[in-house]
Amino acid sequence: MHKVLDKSSKQMGAPTRDQVVDLIAAYAHSVDDMRLDIWPQFFTSDALYHVTTRENHEAGLPIGVVRCVGTGMMQDRVKAFYSANIFEPHTYSHIIGRSEFLEQTSDMVVSARSNFQIVRTMETGRMDLFAVGRYLDEVVIEDGQPRFRKRVVILESRNVDILIVIPL
Amino acid sequence: MSPTVQAGRNEASEFRWPPQGVTRAPYRLFTDPEIYQLEQERIFRGKTWNFLCLDIEIQNAGDYRTTTVGETPVVVTRDRDGKIHAMVNRCAHKGALVCLKKKDNVASLSCVYHAWNYELDGKLKGVAFRNGVRGQGGMPEDFDPAQHRLRPLRVESFCGMIFGTFADEIEDVETYLGPEMASFIKRNLGRPLRILGTHSQMIHNNWKLYAENLRDSYHATLLHTFYTTFKVNRLDMDGGITLSERKWHHLSFARRAKMQEAAEYAEAKVHSANYESALDGPGLLEAWEEFDDGITHSIQTVFPNMCIQFTLNSLAIRFFAPRGVDQTELFWIYLGYERDTDEQSSMRVMQSNLTGAAGLVSLEDGCINEFVQRGTRADPDQSSFIEMGGREVESERNSRATETAVRGFWHGYRHIMGF
């Protein structure tokens, strides 16, 4: 368990900006460390995780590359990763830019936009700039912890190299 | 020319298919740049109909959409009379690309280099400084704009898809598909369509490995274990393979049947059977019966490089464009119908998780063909072995444990390539 998720707390109301930034960093580092088993815990139970392209996003089209509604669907992706899907092993390294906090429209939710770049390292040693884009996040407190209620991952490019099996 | 290149050249032009016929595919076909060039000429610029785009992508007068036929850049337009045109996207002057965006709406087509301007049907309309500047320069007196237009393709629309061909003499699209293929496309696409999303995937393999992969129903439940795991689809479901008359298009279909534990899976101890689970997020597979023929899964290919998938309610066109001898861009165009209710649309949206670059069911296809490319490139004179289901190239109505459609692809390929 990552320390951001581990702290026991009875916090109510909206998360602080520090908590949001810590959540975004902890999420990226746990994926980079291949702790995919805890990936769904970064989300609220009914959260939306949606990976799409800039082109789809700007056209308002609903189908992107991944859509999970609720942590159950995220668990299925994790299970598929460990037990069903086949791919050349690889790891990510995230670089995330400074988060911009968007105007707060609710007492409970903090919204932020953060740019990211992900370098992928393959089993052969090959490294590529795999993904460039932005996270559009809505973070709330659930069960005393900051969690994503919504995480939309907008890829700059329409084109994905080979496949996506590790969450972005 | 270096001796090595010379030797390669001789080998390619003397290429002979192995005596076992279409039960073998020489690995050279996936790596030889000269064969790749011949394919551009004989297949993509030859007697084939190539998928260009959807009718709804160029709905209005002045809309254009760019694509490629083989590696040739092509632009599809709709003129002011509503007529569709397709031309090579290359200025008749110096050969620069004329249209740069994926889609746009324009009054005319204009090359940015020297401002040569074309009508929406590709006729040359204006040449900058044609009469010179202040009486100096300009085109020769006998310059004839009619001789300098964007090179046209013949186009035809079928079930909302626009096809183009460079061939002067070729049957219409429906005849090219044949009656069985055409009627199943009408079942799937024969009503107003709506695009739900698109993306593409770069796969590091020759385009024909993906063409084989789509026709390979043998691998489906062995490589793609998500379906098996969640008991969505197994070879023991009722289904079969239909080949077109010329064998190069195919339809693979499955009907929803009561799942049975096939003894062959248990005995082979295949990976597919070693993991049992229900979905934690069952919303993924919420579906409704759309057709009364009982067919719930279908993959249909159209030679050379497109496919229509209809798995549960997930309808998509896959178009795979060669980007060099060992690179292919695979486009996913997810579709619904205009008549869909919100509930139906959202089921299609959820099911899109099954396919595409991150498809729970099929993401392995992004890497498996690259594994073949990497495994074979050092030995061009060896061949793959394609005898599952026998050596015949015929439809198989009762089983999908066959490579008949792969043999069908090579049957059509040999014919058009003259190999």
Average pLDDT rounded to a whole number, residues B128-152: 92
pLDDT at B273: 33
pLDDT at A105: 85
CB B177 within 8 A of CB B244: yes
pLDDT at B77: 98
Q: Which of A52, A73, A87 sits opposite B283 (nearest CB)?
A: A73
Distance CA B350, CA B344 (A): 10
Contact list in A for residue B223 (CB cut-off 8 A) is 86
Q: Does B358 sit within 8 Å of A164, measured CB to CB?
A: yes
Q: Does B366 sit within 8 Å of A72, measured CB to CB?
A: no
Distance CA B120, CA A109 (A): 50
Most A CBs within 10 Å: which of B65, B201, B335, B371, as the mutation test of the A interface?
B201
| Residues found in chain B | 419
Entry pTM = 0.93
Contact list in B for residue A158 (CB cut-off 8 A) is 198-200
Task: Identify which of B296, B207, B305 has the alpha carbon closest to the alpha carbon of residue B255.
Answer: B296
Smallest CA–CA separation between B201 and chain A, in Å? 5
Q: Does B357 sit within 8 Å of A56, measured CB to CB?
A: no
Percent helix / strand / coil, chain A, rounded to 5: 25, 40, 35
Average pLDDT rounded to a whole number, residues B170-178: 98
Q: Is B117 at the interface with chain A, CB within 8 A?
A: no
Interface size A-B, in CB pairs within 8 Å, comes to: 130
CB B198 within 8 A of CB A56: yes
* The pLDDT of residue B135 is above 90: no
Q: pLDDT tens digits, residue range B193-219?
A: 999 999 999 999 999 999 999 999 999
Least trusted range by pLDDT, from A4-13, B1-10, B174-183 = B1-10
Share above pLDDT 90 across residues of chain B, in percent, rounded to a whole number: 77
Distance CA B33, CA B30 (A): 9
Q: Which of A55, A71, A77 sits opposite B360 (nearest CB)?
A: A77
Most confident of A119-133, B12-26, B289-303: A119-133
Smallest CA–CA separation between A139 and chain B, in Å? 22
Share above pLDDT 70 across residues of chain A, in percent, rounded to a whole number: 95
Torsions phi, psi of B189, nearest 5? -120, 5
Q: Does B366 sit within 8 Å of A162, measured CB to CB?
A: yes
| CA A42 to chain CA mean position, Å | 8
* The pLDDT of residue B236 is above 70: no
* The pLDDT of residue A152 is above 60: yes
Average pLDDT rounded to a whole number, residues A74-100: 95
Residue ranges of chain A whose CB lies within 8 Å of a chain B CB: 51-53, 55-56, 61-77, 79-80, 83-88, 158-165
Q: Could you tell me which chain A residue has the CA closest to the CA of B227?
A: A84
CB B243 within 8 A of CB B393: yes
pLDDT at A55: 98
Task: Identify the band that residue B221 occupies on the pLDDT scale cut at 50, 70 and 90.
Answer: confident
Torsions phi, psi of B86, nearest 5? -135, 135
pLDDT at B418: 95
pLDDT at B232: 57
Distance CA A82, CA A45 (A): 21
Task: Identify the band that residue B260 occupies on the pLDDT scale cut at 50, 70 and 90.
Answer: very low
Average pLDDT rounded to a whole number, residues A71-100: 96
Residue with tokens 């390669």: B8
Q: Could you tell me which chain A residue has the CA closest to the CA of B284?
A: A73
- Per residue, the 3-state secondary structure of chain B, as one string, reads CCHHHHHHHHHHHCCCCCCCHHHEEEHHHHCCHHHHHHHHHHHHCCCCCEEEEEHHHHCCCCEEEEEEECCEEEEEEECCCCCEEEEECCCCCCCCCCCCCCEEECCCEECCCCCCEECCCCCEEECCCCCCECCECCCCCCCCHHHCCCCEEEEEEECCEEEEECCCCCCCHHHHHCHHHHHHHHHHHCCCEEEEEEEEEEECCCHHHHHHHHHCCCCHHHHCHHHHHCCCCCCCCCEEEEECCCCCCEEEEEECCCCCCCHHHHHHCCHHHCCCCCCCCHHHHCCCCCCCCCEEEEEEEECCCEEEEEECCEEEEEEEEECCCCCEEEEEEEEEECCCCHHHHHHHHHHHHHCCCCCCCCCCHHHHHHHHHHHHCCCCCCEEECCCCCCCCCCECCCCCCCHHHHHHHHHHHHHHCC
Q: pLDDT tens digits, residue range B263-285?
A: 555 555 544 433 344 688 888 88
Q: Does A74 sit within 8 Å of B201, measured CB to CB?
A: no
Which value, in Å, is the radius of gyration of the alpha carbons in chain B?
Answer: 24
Share above pLDDT 70 across residues of chain B, in percent, rounded to a whole number: 89
* The pLDDT of residue B7 is above 60: no
Task: Identify the band that residue B235 occupies on the pLDDT scale cut at 50, 70 and 90.
Answer: very low
pLDDT at B263: 56
pLDDT at B275: 38
Name the average pLDDT for chain B: 91
Helix (H/G/I), strand (E/B), else coil: A3 = helix
Torsions phi, psi of A91, nearest 5? -130, 160
Contact list in A for residue B356 (CB cut-off 8 A) is 65
Distance CA A131, CA A94 (A): 9
Q: Does A160 sit within 8 Å of B201, measured CB to CB?
A: yes
Contact list in B for residue A63 (CB cut-off 8 A) is 196-198, 334, 348-349, 352
CB B335 within 8 A of CB B199: no
From start to end of chain A, where are the E strands? 43-53, 66-69, 90-96, 100-101, 110-122, 127-142, 145-155, 159-161
Contact list in B for residue A56 (CB cut-off 8 A) is 197-199
Residues 6+ apart with CB under 8 A from B395: B240, B241, B242, B243, B404
Task: Identify which of A37, A29, A109 has the alpha carbon closest to the alpha carbon of residue A74.
Answer: A37
Smallest CA–CA separation between B51 and chain A, in Å? 19
Least trusted range by pLDDT, from B76-85, B277-286, B325-334 = B277-286
CB B207 within 8 A of CB B374: no
Q: Which of B195, B226, B334 sits opposite A80 (nearest CB)?
A: B226
Task: Identify the band that residue B237 occupies on the pLDDT scale cut at 50, 70 and 90.
Answer: low
Q: Is B343 at the interface with chain A, CB within 8 A?
A: no
Q: Is B345 at the interface with chain A, CB within 8 A?
A: yes
Burial class (CB in 10 A: 0-12, 13-18, 19+), A161: middle
Q: Is B360 at the interface with chain A, CB within 8 A?
A: yes
